[in-house]
Amino acid sequence: MSDINTIIKPENIIYKKTDVLSENELHYCPGCSHGTVHKLIAEVIEEMGIQDKTIGIAPVGCSVLAYNYLEIDWQEAAHGRAPALATAVKRLMPENYVFSYQGDGDLAAIGTAETIHACNRGENIVMVFINNGIYGMTGGQMAPTTLPGMPASTCPAGRDVSHDGAPIKISEILAQLPGTCYVTRQAVHTAANVRKTKKALKKAFENQAANKGTSLVEVVSTCSSGWKMTPTKANEWMEENMFPYYPLGDIKDE
């Protein structure tokens, strides 16, 4: 053990919490992808040196309290209206970096209209989209993104496509709009994927600096509480079931 104590010295630190993340403990469930994505956004903001000019738009959903965790300015939007609020903030303060942070219930369900129109207008904002295929905060109900056959509290026998329709691939829809410059789908369940997601987020913020239009970073995520699995099992389930329907990679990059 003395060996370890010789390594644990400040000059040997290679990974630690960024100061852009606050000291508040995250309220999310164990293993929740939200925490990882919060951290990545904080790291990108720190690396780009834009902490004092970044404005986040918090959604409704589990991440409604996102403003407690990043030491930047925030606005809280009504349910689904984060892209509309982000539009207003960016147009009034074009020198600032503006991003919305939304889940699938917010971005792809109640806020579909705002999402599509903000992207169609090519608003110069970053949209971070956390897709776990379920309404996590309210108790695991079926969302528009719930996979065929996937059980949820409102469809315990699994989603029936003949009754409920097929899951919506919102990123593919948004990629067709001329206003979007960058649409990508990532995940944060392994270290390699976390690194890729961070790169994608950085690119999205750089696109905003270059006035290129709307950048959307979808992160396929887990909801271990809603899916009723352990966090590590949820990650495996996501790889087996979510990725075939929501394949990872860049959908549009202009």
Write out the residues near other proteins by the rule CB under 8 A: 1, 3-4, 6-9, 11-17, 21, 25-26, 28-36, 39, 188-191, 194-195, 224, 230-232, 235
Look up residue 38 and give its two tokens: 């919060």
Give least dist CB 153 to other proteins, A.
22
Residue 239 per-residue DSSP state: I
Query: Rounded to whole angstroms, how far apart are CA atoms 148 and 165?
Result: 9
Nearer to other proteins by Cβ, of 18 and 75: the residue is: 18
Nearer to other proteins by Cβ, of 207 and 235: the residue is: 235
Give least dist CB 191 to other proteins, A.
4
Nearer to other proteins by Cβ, of 69 and 118: the residue is: 69
Give least dist CB 101 to other proteins, A.
15
Give least dist CB 112 to other proteins, A.
28
Nearer to other proteins by Cβ, of 35 and 122: the residue is: 35
* Sign (positive or negative) of CA dihedral 51, 57, 61, 64: positive
DSSP reduced 3-state for 61: coil
Answer for the pair 115, 170: CB distance below 8 angstroms, yes or no.
yes
Burial class (CB in 10 A: 0-12, 13-18, 19+), 190: exposed
